[in-house]
């Protein structure tokens, strides 16, 4: 039912925007020089079925979707699957890296904060993380772009790699890609840091009050061993679940961050598709994001049941 509602909104929302692909392409907006006559516009609308009633278009969309046919881009003159496939790797890479970084740092900081709870370290760190978490990802990205890239020149201003670069070896190619991806990953990591910090802190606070933790302290074990070997192991269940839930939601943040850094991922492609009113491509991108989010939620449920048999 959720998927049905999503694909229905996916169909109607782009068509509720002012204009259409051919009116936009025949105008001077966006520095597009392609022009079409009225006869050509009518021909293209008939070819793509945009001259038919909305109900007929919707029925055709659902039918093609059930057949696995996502569509053919109006503006890019290519299969939507091929277009998204080329951009998907860029987005998935920075999303996975951001989740990994934010999870590791947030879990460690949350564990330490729980161990020193109600102390100066805990209060300062808690206030700082909460303040950072309230800042939208694209604002953080803009700050990094101005300071680290534009002012200090430590990182590239935009793109996923150097244009027309001639690499001497494969290692140089990878290094260049990582150099361009650093700021987008850093931005997404900071934006998601708060949820992992709070989740691990709350979970650790609950675990540290258990009887077996008192036993570990009575044995004279080192604090580091108690925190990361005994306590964190038993507090990992909600954190692991959050990783998969975050994989879906981070895609939403990645869309804005990619446009800030002009990163060649699905988010930047979505902006391009909206600008040229490419209905078919917009639908394909929304479908990709929706399927990703639903899949991650399903995996979170499955893994939660595996880790905690009591849920079943």
The domains found in the chain, sorted by start residue, are: 2-66 (no CATH), 87-311 (1.10.3720.10)
What's the rounded Cα separation, in Å, for the pair 181 and 98?
A: 10
DSSP code for 309: G
pLDDT at 303: 77
* pLDDT band per the 50, 70, 90 thresholds, residue 183: very high
What's the rounded Cα separation, in Å, for the pair 182 and 268?
A: 17
What's the rounded Cα separation, in Å, for the pair 293 and 56?
A: 29
Q: Which single residue is written with the structure tokens 């709870």?
A: 117
Averaged pLDDT, 80-92: 88
Rounded to two decimals, the pTM is: 0.78
pLDDT at 38: 74
pLDDT at 24: 59
pLDDT at 184: 92
Q: Which single residue is written with the structure tokens 């009887």?
A: 211
Higher-confidence position of 235 and 43? 43
* pLDDT band per the 50, 70, 90 thresholds, residue 28: very low
Token pair, residue 82, equals: 């091929």
The listed range with the strongest mean pLDDT (14-23, 183-192, 223-232) is: 183-192
Q: Is the pLDDT of residue 182 over 90?
A: yes
8 Å CB contact between 293 and 250: no
């Amino acid at each position: 039912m959720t998927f049905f509602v999503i694909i229905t909104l996916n169909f109607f929302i782009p068509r509720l925007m002012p204009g259409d692909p051919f009116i936009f392409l025949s105008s001077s907006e966006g520095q597009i020089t392609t022009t079409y006559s009225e006869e050509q516009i009518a021909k293209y609308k008939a070819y793509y079925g945009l001259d038919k009633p909305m109900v007929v278009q919707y029925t055709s969309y659902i039918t093609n979707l059930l057949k696995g046919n996502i569509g053919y881009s109006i503006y890019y003159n290519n299969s939507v699957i091929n277009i998204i496939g080329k951009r998907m790797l860029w987005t998935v890479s920075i999303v996975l890296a951001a989740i990994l970084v934010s999870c590791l740092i947030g879990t460690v900081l949350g564990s330490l904060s729980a161990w020193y709870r109600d102390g100066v370290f805990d209060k300062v760190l808690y206030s700082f993380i909460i303040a950072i978490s309230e800042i939208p990802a694209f604002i953080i990205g803009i700050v990094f772009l101005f300071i680290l890239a534009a002012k200090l020149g430590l990182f590239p201003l935009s793109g996923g790699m150097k244009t027309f670069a001639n690499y001497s070896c494969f290692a140089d190619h990878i290094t260049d890609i990582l150099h361009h991806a650093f700021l987008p990953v850093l931005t997404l990591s900071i934006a998601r840091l708060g949820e992992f910090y709070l989740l691990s802190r709350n979970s650790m606070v609950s675990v540290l009050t258990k009887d077996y933790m008192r036993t570990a302290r009575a044995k004279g074990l080192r604090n580091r061993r108690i925190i990361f070997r005994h306590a964190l192991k038993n507090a990992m269940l909600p954190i692991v679940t959050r990783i998969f839930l975050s994989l879906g939601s981070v895609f939403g943040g990645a869309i804005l961050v990619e446009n800030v850094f002009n990163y060649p991922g699905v988010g930047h492609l979505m902006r391009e598709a909206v600008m040229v009113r490419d209905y078919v491509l917009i639908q394909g991108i929304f479908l990709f994001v929706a399927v990703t989010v639903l899949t991650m939620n399903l995996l979170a449920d499955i893994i939660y049941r595996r880790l905690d048999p009591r849920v079943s």
